[in-house]
Amino acid sequence: MTDLLTRTGTARAPSVARRRRLPGWARPALLLAPAVLMLGVFFGWPLVDIVRQAFTEPEPGLGNFRDLLGDPTTVRVVVRTLVMALVVAVTTLLLAYPYAYLMTVTGPRARAVLMALVLLPFWTSLMARNFAWIVLLQDGGPLGMLGSLFGRDGHGLLGSAPGVAIGMIQVLLPYMVLPLYSVMSGIDHRLLSAASGLGASKVTCFRRIYLPLSLPGVISGTTLVFVLALGFYVTPKLLGSPKESMVAQVIGTKVEKLLDFGGAGAFSVLLLAITALLLLLVARVSRAGAALGLSGAGGKGREED
């Protein structure tokens, strides 16, 4: 029996020694390898292929980009997409900011109800929501009848830019509420009480204390909604019209109907470049805010208790 235990221990010792010889970065790298491989296969390679087609189809060179940037229609589509994304981001911010604040000041039961209302759209099919908006926005629909009270003669918003914006706002609103609530829930409200006790008005407390502390949530939520709105396809396709086409719709038309894979790739690269520049700008603004001490200051009071 002693010999058996001795041999077993001797056999296990080299494997333990081999595990201990692994560098500190090896185990995390092995754990991340499957995820990195999946991202490379399903996201990295298609992106590389799109860029390749942009520079090689139908012939190698920059012809696709020259045609793209020299076309006035392309410029109008890009500007329309940027304006629509900005309108959607600003509107969702104005709607989500007081809602997220309400979630931080209510009790646990009311907060659970408010959170359920935010998460409810994720449990509903996107197509079902879009078809519901088609019914609401069409001529003679509820919104059209409401508009008749203001002289619109029952005409709905289906096929118009406002109708597309309404549908996108409804879909993207949770993506603004959740980052705002994540930051606002960490703000110590005793800072506002202290400022109020020192004579500051409610407007001053909000402007000088609460708003700066909530800026990280504002920046992250606005960036997320803006980037998502840039590439929106289904909602503008169903609620909009060809006259109100956005970048994603034009790319889809080039691929499905015109078989212009090079032009679609160039348009995709242009959209990717715009998104990358936006993210770089947001990163610089976030670093500047961190240097001024605007992030993370709200939770210090709770951590020190």
- Predicted pLDDT at 287: 77
Hey, which bits of the chain come out as E strands? none
Q: How far apart are CA 101 and CA 89, in angstroms?
A: 18
* pLDDT score of 99: 93
Q: How far is CA 252 from the centre of its chain?
A: 21
The pLDDT of residue 187 is 85
Q: What is the pLDDT of residue 179?
A: 92
- In the DSSP assignment, the letter for residue 241 is -
Exposure b/e, 251-288, CB count within 10 A at least 16 = b: beebbeeeebbbbbbbbbbbbbebeeebeeebeeebee
pLDDT at 9: 52
* DSSP count for the chain of H helices, then E strands: 16, 0
What's the angle, vertex CA 78, arms to CA 159 and CA 52, rounded to 5? Answer: 120
pLDDT one-digit tens code per residue, 13-34 = 454 445 556 677 778 888 888 8
d(CA 300, CA 104): 17
pLDDT score at 148 = 64
CA–CA gap between residue 219 and residue 92 (Å, rounded): 13
Model pTM above 0.85: no
What pLDDT score was predicted for residue 211?
86
User: In the 8-state DSSP scheme, what is residue 207?
Assistant: I
pLDDT of residue 28: 81
104 burial level (CB within 10 Å; 0-12, 13-18, 19+): middle
Print burial letters for 130-165: b (CB count within 10 Å at least 16), e (below 16): beebbebbbeebebbeebeeeeeeeebbbbbbebbb
> Which residues of the chain fall below pLDDT 50?
4-5, 13, 15-17, 295-305
Integer Cα distance of 232 and 277 in angstroms: 19
Handedness of CA 284, 279, 68, 82 (dihedral sign): negative
